[in-house]
């Protein structure tokens, strides 16, 4: 996708405990009527949807219109299937992060926002960053240990065949980190910063485990 093709407004899907990163693909099961309408409208136009995290429940929040984080990721619907019970199974591929500028008032059942992409144009480029796979081996070792302790299974050999940005983003998205930590990773400006943030988060996990074994 090119800069000129980016939309000025975007249908947003506030999905709790779910984050998509650029260059990663995820399956979604759509069953709520408002999001069925959103996918229908999206399929008729540009097939684009903005995934965004709702903020933790605030006392004054309406459940249907929770406050949203400022930064989300736009995805493109790459596969679409309708089930016998009128659900949609779609695959969404992360394209570029966006910042919400304003929410648009409309008669639609789902929410739409005016969005800005200018801080994240790098997401569209296949540029090489100055990170070697060997730089990540220690992080991967720690992350692998954390994944295994939490019962996560990752095909590490397959990951090593991907491009570096796909690998880092896939690990960030699939990691057993908290949703707040994943939001921090999503908002990290560059791949190098995301790698550093992963390392920082892992340090806190290792430290906790170290403390636990010391106390016992």
Cα distances (Å, whole numbers) of residue 108 to 34, 41, 80, 112, 163: 8, 10, 22, 9, 39
The secondary element (H helix, E strand) that includes residue 36 is helix 33-44
CB of 33 closer than 8 Å to CB of 64:
no
Could you give the angle at which helices 164-174 and 179-187 cross, rounded to 10 degrees?
160
CB of 56 closer than 8 Å to CB of 204:
no
pLDDT of res. 17: 79
Token pair of 5, please? Answer: 């093709």
pLDDT of res. 128: 60
pLDDT of res. 114: 97
SS (H, E, C) 164-209: HHHHHHHHHHHCCCCHHHHHHHHHCCCHHHHHHHHHHHHHHHHHHH
Instruction: Give span(s): CATH 2.30.130.40, the chain.
Output: 3-124
pLDDT (tens digit, 0 to 9) for every residue of the chain, 216 residues total?
888 899 999 999 998 878 899 988 889 999 999 999 999 999 999 999 999 999 876 544 556 678 999 999 999 999 999 999 999 999 999 999 999 999 999 899 999 999 999 999 989 987 665 666 666 676 777 777 777 787 777 777 777 677 777 777 887 887 778 889 899 999 998 888 888 888 888 888 754 554 444 333
Residue 180 CB burial class (10 angstroms; 0-12, 13-18, ≥19): exposed
pLDDT of res. 216: 35
Token pair of 33, please? Answer: 């009527």
Give one word for 7, left, alpha or beta, with left for phi > 0 and alpha for psi -120 to 50: beta
CATH superfamily of 3-124: LON domain-like (2.30.130.40)
pTM for this entry: 0.80
């Amino acid at each position: 996708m090119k800069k000129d093709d980016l939309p000025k407004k975007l249908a947003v899907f506030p999905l709790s405990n779910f984050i998509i990163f650029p260059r990663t693909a995820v399956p979604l099961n759509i069953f709520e009527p408002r999001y069925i309408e959103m996918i229908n409208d999206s399929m008729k136009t540009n097939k684009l949807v903005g995934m965004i995290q709702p903020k933790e429940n605030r006392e004054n929040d309406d459940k249907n219109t929770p406050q949203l984080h400022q930064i989300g990721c736009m995805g493109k619907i790459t596969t679409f299937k309708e089930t016998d019970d009128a659900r949609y199974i779609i695959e969404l591929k992360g394209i570029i992060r966006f910042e919400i500028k304003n929410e648009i008032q409309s008669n639609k059942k789902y929410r739409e926002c005016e969005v800005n992409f200018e801080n994240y144009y790098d997401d569209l480029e296949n540029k090489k960053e100055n990170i070697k796979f060997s730089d990540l081996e220690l992080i991967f070792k720690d992350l692998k240990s954390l994944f295994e302790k939490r019962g996560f299974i990752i095909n590490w050999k397959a990951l090593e065949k991907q491009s570096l940005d796909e690998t880092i983003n896939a690990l960030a998205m699939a990691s057993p980190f908290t949703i707040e930590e994943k939001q921090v990773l999503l908002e990290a400006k560059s791949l190098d910063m995301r790698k550093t943030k992963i390392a920082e988060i892992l340090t806190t996990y290792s430290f906790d485990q170290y403390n636990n074994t010391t106390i016992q």
